[in-house]
Amino acid sequence: MPRRPLARLASALGAGALLLAGCANPSTGSADDDPTKPVTLTFWHGWSEKNEVKAINDSIARFEKLHPNITVKSVGNVTDETINQALRAGGGDAPDVVTSFTTNNVGQYCSSGMWVDLDPFMEKTGLDKKKVFPKTLLDYTSYQGKQCALPLLADAYGMYYNKDAFKEAGIERPPRTMSELKRDAAKLTRRTKGGGLERVGFMPNFRLYQNSPDRLFAQWGPAYFDKDGKARLAKEGKIKAFYATVRDLIREQGGYGALETFRTSFGDEFSSQNAFLTGKLAMHLDGEWRGLFLKDAKFDWGTAPLPVPDDQADTYGRGFLTGTVTGIAHSSKHQNAAWELVRFLTADTDQVVAFANAIHNVPSTKAALTSPKLDPDPAFRAFLDIAQNKYSNALPPSVNGGQYVVSLRDFSYGVEAGKVHDLDKGLKELDDQIDADILQAQD
């Protein structure tokens, strides 16, 4: 599914402030309802594209056929902010089942009590979460031991590459290590007669489309926080290697100024003028849904995992994972019935496969990931492998959502532009800022 993560993140952070400010007395619902009795559930989600809405409505129809006593009222295109305001207010207008595209906010959902702990529901209905869901997906749907959400499809990030450009440059396969990436990016970069850029091998600039720094940094397998929850980026040696790689890529392809000027010539990410689609990028970091937008590409293209650091070559195949999460509102008076819907959407293999095929997302259960009913498209299969790779990772949840990701992004803008002259000092200040933001959120 196409996402605009940074815009969603900014909205979610605003919602987080509202949530934390108003979570002292969340409305109390009930788990005493009989899920076999007639009931109407309200389901709020964020999907809005025509094919996405059809897919979720088809999913609900399948659920209602299995549970004829439960009617689901579906409301789409709902933001985290709207959901959080409704959950704070409680009452009859609040939803029973909710979803979010922002996994970073799971720490808020769990710690605030606005999303109920799902472990008791799984226990009484016999769902073994460790057998059903991949570990990384369970990690990003829980916080401090509380499983207040479950994954509802996932997104995996990898590399799209222009096979025609590779053939022209004499490159036989996608790069697997960062040194190969730098070498190939330089070979694939093509300049105009006037010295400007016509095509870039791999643009690392953090303002480009999906290039939030955490996504490429994931290839190093970083640890953002220590066991006490304190930011540790200044102590994370991998971040220096990450920034060094980014600076090398920038330098070898014309410099930051030239790349930024070239980037401003790109069309909108979700338009026919996307820079990869128009041949201005030979390699590109993106999610599994991008293939839906490349059906009319005038060149041969393929997918592969993103390269990994040379000293971690054995982890090749890994990638950054995120996705949609769903849970039960604390204020719901029909939590057992709501759990039946959550369980169906997240753990029923045929349902997960059908939904994944419909919106071209990665399935979020172990059984669905290996189902023969999955889309056979080999370009899509590359992302299924990334999702199952034991080294793939996701961002850790935090009590104030993705604020630390925004802080990292803003800091990274300065690094790539050459404005951070003392990296050690800058990283220490970044850690202090992240810790202060978290402390403020806990007050």
Q: Return the DSSP state at 45.
A: -
Other residues' Cβ atoms within 10 Å of the Cβ of residue 313: 14
Q: What is the pLDDT of residue 68?
A: 98
- With a CB cutoff of 8 Å and minimum separation 6, the contacts of 122 are 128, 129, 147
Encode pLDDT of 168-196 as tens digits. Answer: 999 999 999 999 999 999 999 999 988 89
Strand bridging mode 39-44 / 97-100: parallel
Instruction: Write out pLDDT tens, residues 350-364.
Output: 999 999 999 999 999
Residue 357, token pair as written in the block:
């095929």
Q: Are strands 197-202 and 190-191 parallel, antiparallel or unpaired?
A: antiparallel
For the whole prediction, is pTM greater than 0.85?
yes
Mean pLDDT, residues 133-158: 95
Residue written as tokens 């070559």? 313
Residue with tokens 């790779």: 389
State the pLDDT confidence band at 19, using cuts at 50, 70 and 90.
Answer: very low
Dump pLDDT digits (tens) for 326-336: 999 999 999 99
Q: In angstroms, rounded to a whole number, what is the distance separating the alpha carbons of residues 401 and 411?
A: 18
Pairing mode of beta strands 70-75, 281-287: unpaired
Q: CA 99 to CA 388: how far, in whole Å?
A: 23
Domains annotated on the chain, with CATH: 5-155+322-388 (3.40.190.10), 157-315 (3.40.190.10)
CA distance 397 to 275: 32
Q: What is the pLDDT of residues 44-69, one digit of tens each?
A: 999 999 999 999 999 999 999 999 99
